[in-house]
Structure 1
Amino acid sequence: MTDLAAGVTRYPAGAAAGRMPRVLWLVGGLCFVVGVVAAFVTGGDPRWIAGIAAVGILLPLVSLLLPWWLRPVLLIGVTVAAGLSVDRIGIESTGWDWGRDRDLAYAACYFGSLILGLALLWKASDRRAWRRRLASAEGAPPSGQDPTGGRKIGRLLIWSDRKYEYEVADPSVEAALQAVRALDGENHTLVSIHIGRGELDVGGDAAGTMIIQQSDNRRSWRNGYQVADPAVIDRKTDPWADGRPKINITYAGADKVYPDQLLTTLPAAEAAVRSWVERAERDRSLNWWRMPGWDGLQRPPALQERDTPGGSSGSGDTDASHGL
């Protein structure tokens, strides 16, 4: 790709796969276990239980072969057809009667299996979308590193515009600075630098107002940090208080409003990037304000989808804040 600098990989915008929330595994597994146990406790036939579980799990996976809009038709159709068949054939052929506890347990087993199957379908869809993303790469070979969901990855620089998403594995300081200097507040509004589970985000306009956010463990942004005006020195100084000036900026493609005390300019962004890339720590010349817990106002939707609320950023912190 003659229009790409050395080491840069480019993907079509929107090629990234949305990763499956881990809680879906817990819900699916729990419903499956409860359904199977209920079927056994109420005297269910092991052969029927195995068959019901197999249908519930495999049905969503089979639907992966169909267009997305046909999948719910198949799932609902088979479920309704099975229910009507049992109700019609019912007592004479199978001994099933929806009014009996055992047969209600069979139904619970089926729906538990179906939920687990849907979790497996989502996982399979994720993997297929990720393979397609890697196959669409142009320029340098794709890193294969996935920064979503709080995963621990290597060193990865990512940014995007309206048409493409870009990445550089093991970026140099100069590559990161060039990406930050290209922020224009319109097409380019976010640069992220991942190191392990840590992340430094720079957004806004390099020629105007910028925002800098950092977390040592991006599984959560509780107790993450933002570069702030020196006047913001502790939690008692609330920059979000009514009456304080607010400024509109475009950050990660979203129109956001932040207190002017939490926004900065290019020289601070360059200092933050140099320290982060070179030493994986917050630059000590800057004032870092500890973000007060999980707050949707702090992170644009695109970044919230990539983050994982509920983790902890308390381990491995580099205490580079001042007065906090």
Structure 2
Amino acid sequence: MLYDIARPLLFSLDAETAHELSLASLNLAGRLLPAGKPVTAEPVQAMGITFPNRIGLAAGLDKNGEAIDGLARFGFGFIEIGTITPRPQPGNPRPRMFRLPEVRGIINRMGFNNHGVDALVANVKATKFRGILGINIGKNFDTPIEQAADDYLACLDKVYTLASYVTVNISSPNTKNLRQLQGESELDDLLGRLKARQEQLADRHGRYVPLTLKIAPDLEPAQVINIADALRRHRIDGVIATNTTISRDKVQGVRYAEQQGGLSGAPVFEASTAVVAQLAQTLAGELPIIAAGGVLDGRGAQAKLDAGATLVQLYSGLIYRGPGLVAECVHATADHSDSHRA
């Protein structure tokens, strides 16, 4: 109800300004109010972790981990922060975020704007949150693609002991050449190096932290099969499907549709869900799929599970529906069959 009152004000502001105001408010709420708890549901096992419910926050909303405690009050089963890079970077020039309310979509070309991994680490250490925390890592915009693995390894080293799981983001369309890492040879090299470092860190710290890979919806079926094969070959613990799309098929003629960047929200739902279904068929339950992309109601969350996902993440749906969407999706997916658990 409170969000229904606040939404007209937020939507009267530039999209990124509204985002910053919302994060600042959540930061304040997190510091002043008691710690939040997940919406009650039957726990779900995935990647060796017990998730209190199936619904999580996707990376991108809180890049620096500044509002974790406030976001925890929404009732998520898990929260993912980032994408973070080794060094701070401003991202692309503003304006770089656009709402498409007619189709409940958002276009952004943020460009991994963040305060750097050291700032995120400090924020996580200061939080009251004791739930499941994913940390999403990427590369700096000016790091040559041939040296991208060095950036991912640097971030993994610094966040390893603080994360419940770490996500490797190779699918944002807003960092030049990043999606090139989804290519067969590039991906093989990157995952091989990350898996070796994960094993070293697990030995060093006496704790195994799962790795997930976040992929794009704009993949040909053969590419999805190649990625699934690489995930199995390198024993990666999970996959997030998907990031935003560069396609504009679903938004032709809509204001801002011509803006460059990744499109999220309702227009990406079908393409993202199709990738989930293909991954589920190809992987045959060997590792869990976390579905993200266009979930705006409980039926959408359930559809992701029906396609083969184990967990579901929200982002753009929160902009259009508010925090009540979390409980709606938790309740809609609470009695899902055990057959999709991994």
TM-score by length of 2: 0.23
Query: Whose radius of gyration is greater, 1 or 2?
Result: 1
TM-score by length of 1: 0.24
